Structure 1
Amino acid sequence: MAKSKKKKNTSLFRLFLWGMTILIGSFFIFFGSIYIGLWGKVQTESDLQNIKQSEATEILDYKGAVIDKFYKYNRQSISYSAFPKHLIEALVATEDARFYEHDGVDNYSLLRVFFKTILSGDKSSGGGSTLTQQLVKNIYGRKSYGFFSLPVNKLKESIIAKRIENVYSKKEILELYLNTVPFSGNTYGIESAANQFFNKTTSKLSVSESATLVGTLKANHSYNPRLFPERSQLRRDVVLSQMQKYGYLSSEKATSTMSVSIQLKLSKRNSFQRQFFVDLIKSEVEAILDSINSKNDYTYNIEEDGLKIHTTLDLEQQKLLEASVKKHIGNLQPQFEGEYRTDLPWKNKALLLRIAKNTKVYKRLKRSKISEEQLLDSLQKKRPIEILKNGESTVLQLSTLDSISHSLKQLNAASLSVNPKTGAILAYVGGVDYRTSKFDIIKNSRRQVGSTFKPIVYASAIKAGLKPCDYFSAKEITYSNFKDWKPQNSSHKEEDPYLNFSMKHALTHSLNTVSVKVLERAGIENTITLAKSMGVTSHIVSEPSLALGVAELNMKELAKVYSSIANQSKVPEIHFITKITSKTGEVIAEFTPAQSKPSELGVDQNRILLALLENVVDEGTASRLRTTFRLRQDLAGKTGTTQGNKDGWFAAITPELVNITWVGHNNQSINFKSTRLGQGANSALPIFGTMYQQMVKQDRFNEITRATFPLLSENQREALNCDDIKRDGFFKRLLSKDEIEKNFDDEKEKEDNKEGFFSRLFGSKKK
């Protein structure tokens, strides 16, 4: 019996040994497969030596000023000597107490994690990763390998961590770590975090501030001192306790520091509007480098090779445009909300839920397979959220649905300035705030352009032989062959049927009823053809409403159209990168913009059109530039407002600058409640007006602000010299046929004013 039991125990022991042998063997085979790179590249010591050699790529404006940088690791790299001693002590005490003793992998900590966390379930023991391993994760990230993701990534990090310790000193590792680690608030590197939360450099951080920032490393969002001040303070105190535990702080110093609450001083220096241009540059340059790399032996990397990207942007003008957008939208937002008294679209629960279904939060909750009632409760649970309110960032207690509601009512704006002679982009604001919406209106959006399309209609009429002093009645007419369409003027006031308005006056005051008649005389297809020659590439609808701006265009298309008007009928190509050079100054790529192409509008005809748009500023819908902003420079332009006050536009022309500005909502179901507030003259024009007002005050912009338009010739002045309004005489009123309904006809030879006296007296027989 004993012999049988002994034999059984021996068999079990052998089975155990075999099992352990297989397990250990499998581990070494698995480890070996990672080591030799079967699970992806494992950086060699040679590769790792390049970490400190990586240099940021700089985006430069046309004068060489730095707009922004592309880093692989951080946004503001600083040296070890800039770190205060207590920052290093806080980091080591909290994240890796044995940092100075291990060689990249702390086997003691791994055993502790294995026995305490895995076997006993004590999660307080930590994750076992050293600072060096965390550095590897920060730099190279982690990849998905399905079920094997965690062991593969951990082992790769261990291998690379040991190699890093062979290449770099402990001080250099700490320097790399603090310059690469992600902190709260989407900041990378200690210098960015110190600036973001305390508005100071790293070297000036206090013990409390260092402990606060180190404390956020455990969970960036959960310990964000801006969003969760109480939780962040508790975490800071844990860091201070760790510092005391390992002898870096006396108990008195730790206690006194804990007794003081965290005092944030948030930086306001970041431009979240400029990021739209930075993103545009990055996507464009990456495509350029991909093309270059495919043909060369050496591979350029936008985040490592210290390239210089030379652009056409004027950084000083960019700053003025950013400030103008922020100021105007900050003023306009409360006025917009104030006009809504009932039926608030951003309080419509069905709309909020429909939008919520596209959020990451909703999709995550849906995957958890909770009930619809529980899901709805979760969407209504409040938490601290950073939002934009009246142009300033603030933190409020909001639920997911509250956050959607808030973003839904936020006005957005975009503004683009170009040099009309070259097409070079001078300033670029793709949205109000990159944090709240990363959608670039300039790059990605096509919107109805309203009356900013009318200059093309009038240009087509001028090309067809009409004169600025040709007169049209502004009375409303129903066009029966277009579903009884009856255009009205924005004032909705019925005009005196016997009053006739010059074409000059009609464009100056943006009369819709006249614009439709002008389009009829010019011809729809003729107008579309001219628009294409002036820079429009989008599809244009072939219908009378084109006169009122139903065409959906991109802002860059409008910039080309208005640039051609400023540039004697020559259409420039919009561009923003001039060249890319290496860190040694070698030209990698250089770009010469395409030569401007003449539009189909004659130069003399174009000057007449420009004069009409000057009149819009002097006497018409854009006269606020003269009255409110007191601008006396040579200016022309056109306001635009789309149906239902959904979009406000202003296109400004100066001899050396064209600016296109849009204001509205990302969600096109939401509009301004009144034309008073939503019209382009009020919603969009002030952005240009404020910027240009500041440019006029600065001598550096004299080349732009003191430039003048070409003088009108004697014949051109004569063509513009007429009364704005003419009233029909007695006999004309007696003999005229009052048109209430007609068919829209764009064949000029069938126009009423070409019929003879008796035809008008007895009625035309043409059908």
Structure 2
Amino acid sequence: MAQKKKMSAKDNSSYQKKFWKVFFLGLGGVFLFFMCANFGLFGAMPSFDELENPDSNLATEIIASDGVTLGKFYRENRSPVKFEDLPQHLVDALISTEDERFYEHSGIDARGTLRAAVSLGADGGASTLSQQLAKLLFHGEGSRFILFRLVQKVKEWIIATKLERQYTKNEIIALYLNRADFVNTAVGIRSAANVYFGKEPKDLAIEEGAVLVGMLKNPSLYNPVREKRKQLVLDRRNTVLSQMVRNNFLEPAAKDLLEKKPIKLDFNPESHTDGIATYFREYLRDYMKKWCKENKKPDGTEYNIYQDGLKIYTTIDSRMQKHAEEAVDEHLKGLQAEFFKAQKSNKNAPFFKLTTDETDKLMMRAMKNSERWRLMKNQDKSEEEIIKSFSEKTDMRIFTWKGDRDTIMSPIDSIRYYKHFLQTGMISMEPQTGHVKVWVGGINYKHFQYDHAGQGARQVGSTFKPFVYATAIEQLNMSPCDSIVDSPFTIPRGRHNVSESWTPRNSDGKYRGMINLKKALANSINTVSAKLIDRTGPKAVIDLTQKLGVTADIPEQVSICLGAVEITVEDMVAAFSTFANKGIYIKPQLITRIEDKNGNSIFETIPETHDVLNQDIAYAVIKLMEGVTEEGTGTRLRWGGAGFTKYKYQFTNPIAGKTGTTQNNSDGWFMGIVPNLCTGVWVGCEDRSARFRSTAMGQGATMALPIWGLYMDKCYKDDKLNVSKEPFERPENISIKVDCWKAVKDTLDFDQDVDEFNF
């Protein structure tokens, strides 16, 4: 074999020159590449301001008075959490799994990068937490085209080193966890902890934190909600625990115990149609849109409820809200079953006394208000085509009280089906502060989005009568103990602008003779209300009602004394609360304050109040309404009711209340008051022609009162709520007779059963 020539000094020098030339050219090229990337020649780089204040796109939180998050407004469901609010085990799991040398590098892990380069990524990538944060904040997923991916990687390195200079290590961890997407509407660790485990991050157990850290590798793949992925998720969680052992954050024995635990989720997807107080949240959304237009940022721009991370502190109590929604569900499930039974013999169910033409008009109006109609109209479909489509059967998912059910039904049949459902509106308010504690706008926001608490006004029936009595006490110097004759009565044509002679009749067709006002209201006697408004005139009643906060347009007619007036539940609760608040009206309050994302208070509500009645008159009206639950239409609160409405509650404490039932049993009401809580409940179908045929089932005492009873029973059993069972505060030296038993007994000179007297 021929011997190789020994390399000469000249040749060696030539090779060295070439080597250093290539080396410096390569180094210069890399430097030039980095400089080009840094100065944005390969696309924009984040500015200093953007690094200082990265676009966070934070959800606005709706917070209950007891500190519970009721829901959020968001395009990206994310609420930030500070590093100090993260449990140490979560931080340890993150570092162990995603970046073991996090505290040793300055944004780029040289050892990991070299390993990844040598193995061409076969041994895993080398992205540090800082690099992953750079990707989340500024350029998203990488390109599959190698050259573009290389450019993005360089930009990622540059941003990562800048982030390391800008933020502390702890701040980078918090920023990263606040930006990570955990799927199922959960963006950020706080949302993830709430969505998957119903907890705040600080309350997560070690094995729960490991599940969430395990998801970071591929959230869709390691989605713990997916049934088919449960073993995969369990294995991934255990891998995280093993990494914690490897990095000396967890003892092997502890890991062995944790690995044996199953994954227990408390899945709470935070969508706009799930959770509690859904109708209130939607009402608040509309309120906030208007608020944002009227209240600008210091720089003059508008706040955005979907990305500015506001915190709205509301007056709603999450515990009371839950009790209210449970009460609605419990009662209306049974009442709805009775309603379906009552419709079996109705050929035009659920409508009564509608002609074919009237029914067709009603159904046509419903079709035109539907989403289907709107979408097909946008597709330039003719009206004939649209109407025809409503008769074609299709797959759909419908609401039932036993849960949503898949079925095949034509859209027109589904409209009629949904017309059968009884709806409700319910608000509970603290009279002394105006703080609304409960807001229930319907039975299921996902399927029925019309708000019957603040949006829908319905005829109030006999719940209007306390306004008539209050006017009489104020204008005519009457008292609850004054007597009046219950007898047939007519207001002749021409008087109070009556176009035809008006003769109201009592619902039971009976007349009781001499009776005092307290018993007259307790038994909701129509003739007495008519006689009182005849004496005061309808205008005086309207004036007082409007002072009580009722915003409805009330016609100046004597028939209003029987409740032929449409008023919202919200206005009714505010008005009745005035009687419990010693005659002082307070406008319902939904928000206490609003904070920006930095915790600065940017809005605080100031209660709107005005005097309506002196406290003696207000107390006299309360005493009148106490008679309703003592001996009138609300007495079933004392013994639990009858039939399917026979519930376990049997209240013994003072309760002021008033039932209401409109003509043809279309609307059932109950207004109930204790010293520190006023609650109004309405129940009825969406259309007034859909109703119970019998008054026994369609009256307020059957439809609405039991919801109040179930709700208050739950509140009383919840010791933390402090709902009053005490008597209403009596004014000192009251000038109006309110103790009717005592008023009569003092006139007697012998012992006699006072029930013999009609008073």
Change (3 A) 1:437 1:711: same
Q: Which residue of 2 aligns with 1:344?
A: 348
- Does the 8 Å CA contact 1:305/1:583 hold for their aligned counterparts? yes
- Does the 8 Å CA contact 2:390/2:412 hold for their aligned counterparts? no
Q: Where does structure 1 lack aligned partners over 5 or more consecutive residues?
A: 1-34, 36-41, 86-134, 140-158, 184-188, 217-223, 226-231, 237-263, 729-767
Distance 1:556 1:434 in 2: 18
Distance 2:289 2:375 in 1: 32
Counting only pairs closer than 5 Å after superposition, residues 358-373 of structure 1 correspond to structure 2 as 358-365=369-376, 367=379, 369=381, 372=384
Match of 2:422 among 411, 416, 420: 411
Distance 2:418 2:347 in 1: 17
Distance 1:477 1:163 in 2: 88
1:637 and 2:641 equivalent?
Answer: no
Tell me which moved more, 716-725 or 336-345. 716-725
1:513 and 2:530 equivalent?
Answer: no
1:320 and 2:311 equivalent?
Answer: no
- Does the 8 Å CA contact 2:578/2:584 hold for their aligned counterparts? yes
SS at match of 1:517: helix
How far the C-alpha of 1:715 sits from its partner, in A, is 6.2
Q: Which residue of 2 aligns with 1:429?
A: 440
Change (3 A) 1:489 1:51: farther
SS at match of 2:323: helix
SS at match of 2:623: helix
How far the C-alpha of 1:561 sits from its partner, in A, is 1.6
Q: Which residue of 1 aligns with 2:7?
A: none
SS at match of 2:453: helix
Change (3 A) 1:280 1:632: same
Change (3 A) 1:52 1:296: closer
How far the C-alpha of 1:605 sits from its partner, in A, is 2.4
Distance 1:289 1:161 in 2: 40
Match of 1:675 among 695, 699, 712: 695
Distance 1:213 1:346 in 2: 46
Distance 2:443 2:45 in 1: 42
Distance 1:293 1:202 in 2: 39
Change (3 A) 1:177 1:349: farther
Q: Which residue of 1 aligns with 2:354?
A: none
Aligned-partner residue type, residue 473 of structure 1: D
Q: Which residue of 1 aligns with 2:617?
A: 605
- Does the 8 Å CA contact 1:614/1:637 hold for their aligned counterparts? yes
Change (3 A) 1:164 1:397: farther
- Does the 8 Å CA contact 1:72/1:303 hold for their aligned counterparts? yes
- Does the 8 Å CA contact 1:633/1:705 hold for their aligned counterparts? yes
Change (3 A) 1:274 1:167: farther
SS at match of 1:318: helix
Normalized against structure 2, the TM-score is what?
Answer: 0.64
How far the C-alpha of 1:364 sits from its partner, in A, is 3.8
How far the C-alpha of 1:298 sits from its partner, in A, is 6.8
Q: Which residue of 2 aligns with 1:443?
A: 454
How far the C-alpha of 1:283 sits from its partner, in A, is 2.9
Distance 2:679 2:483 in 1: 30
- Does the 8 Å CA contact 1:649/1:683 hold for their aligned counterparts? yes
Distance 1:657 1:174 in 2: 42
- Does the 8 Å CA contact 2:195/2:269 hold for their aligned counterparts? no
- Does the 8 Å CA contact 1:73/1:179 hold for their aligned counterparts? no
- Residue deviations 1:122-163 (CA, integer Å, cap 9, x gap): xxxxxxxxxxxxx99x99xxxxxxxxxxxxxxxxxxx99999
1:452 and 2:463 equivalent?
Answer: yes
Tell me which moved more, 647-656 or 441-450. 441-450
1:61 and 2:64 equivalent?
Answer: yes
Distance 1:279 1:682 in 2: 29
1:551 and 2:565 equivalent?
Answer: yes
Distance 2:656 2:568 in 1: 21
Identity %: 29
Change (3 A) 1:584 1:441: same
Aligned-partner residue type, residue 604 of structure 1: D
1:654 and 2:674 equivalent?
Answer: yes
Q: Where does structure 2 lack aligned partners over 5 or more consecutive residues?
A: 1-39, 82-89, 98-135, 141-150, 164-172, 199-206, 230-264, 352-358, 641-648, 745-753
Change (3 A) 1:46 1:522: same
Q: Which residue of 2 aligns with 1:495?
A: 511
How far the C-alpha of 1:358 sits from its partner, in A, is 2.8
Distance 1:419 1:657 in 2: 5
1:624 and 2:627 equivalent?
Answer: no
Counting only pairs closer than 5 Å after superposition, residues 27-106 of structure 1 correspond to structure 2 as 53-74=56-77
- Does the 8 Å CA contact 2:595/2:602 hold for their aligned counterparts? yes
Change (3 A) 1:362 1:584: closer
Distance 1:636 1:413 in 2: 21
How far the C-alpha of 1:436 sits from its partner, in A, is 1.2
Q: Which residue of 1 aligns with 2:335?
A: 332
SS at match of 2:425: strand
Change (3 A) 1:203 1:343: farther
How far the C-alpha of 1:659 sits from its partner, in A, is 0.5
Distance 1:470 1:378 in 2: 59
Match of 1:716 among 715, 737, 747: 737
Q: Which residue of 2 aligns with 1:381?
A: 393
- Does the 8 Å CA contact 2:442/2:452 hold for their aligned counterparts? yes
- Does the 8 Å CA contact 1:353/1:401 hold for their aligned counterparts? no
1:698 and 2:718 equivalent?
Answer: yes
- Does the 8 Å CA contact 1:424/1:576 hold for their aligned counterparts? yes
Aligned-partner residue type, residue 596 of structure 2: S
Distance 1:271 1:711 in 2: 45
How far the C-alpha of 1:267 sits from its partner, in A, is 6.5
How far the C-alpha of 1:525 sits from its partner, in A, is 1.8
- Does the 8 Å CA contact 1:501/1:725 hold for their aligned counterparts? no
RMSD of the TM alignment (CA)?
A: 4.9
Distance 2:755 2:421 in 1: 40
Match of 2:312 among 309, 312, 321: 309
- Residue deviations 1:332-360 (CA, integer Å, cap 9, x gap): 11111211131334586664344223323
Aligned-partner residue type, residue 495 of structure 1: Y
- Residue deviations 1:572-592 (CA, integer Å, cap 9, x gap): 121121111233332212222
Distance 2:386 2:573 in 1: 50
Q: Which residue of 2 aligns with 1:462?
A: 473
Change (3 A) 1:704 1:376: same
Q: Which residue of 1 aligns with 2:240?
A: none
SS at match of 1:444: coil
How far the C-alpha of 1:453 sits from its partner, in A, is 0.7
- Does the 8 Å CA contact 1:536/1:553 hold for their aligned counterparts? yes
- Residue deviations 1:53-78 (CA, integer Å, cap 9, x gap): 34333222223332223333126899
Change (3 A) 1:452 1:294: same
Distance 2:450 2:154 in 1: 42
- Does the 8 Å CA contact 1:329/1:391 hold for their aligned counterparts? no
- Does the 8 Å CA contact 2:623/2:738 hold for their aligned counterparts? no
Counting only pairs closer than 5 Å after superposition, residues 565-604 of structure 1 correspond to structure 2 as 565-594=579-608, 596-599=609-612, 601-604=613-616
How far the C-alpha of 1:457 sits from its partner, in A, is 0.5
Counting only pairs closer than 5 Å after superposition, residues 246-265 of structure 1 correspond to structure 2 as none
- Does the 8 Å CA contact 2:468/2:532 hold for their aligned counterparts? yes
Q: Which residue of 2 aligns with 1:257?
A: none
- Residue deviations 1:553-607 (CA, integer Å, cap 9, x gap): 222221222111111111112112111123333221222213x3221x3322222
Q: Which residue of 1 aligns with 2:283?
A: 280
Distance 1:674 1:212 in 2: 56
How far the C-alpha of 1:328 sits from its partner, in A, is 1.5
Distance 2:478 2:467 in 1: 14
Distance 2:611 2:755 in 1: 31
Q: Which residue of 1 aligns with 2:685?
A: 665
- Residue deviations 1:619-652 (CA, integer Å, cap 9, x gap): 1111121111211122101011111211111111
- Does the 8 Å CA contact 1:648/1:662 hold for their aligned counterparts? yes
Change (3 A) 1:166 1:211: closer
How far the C-alpha of 1:727 sits from its partner, in A, is 7.9
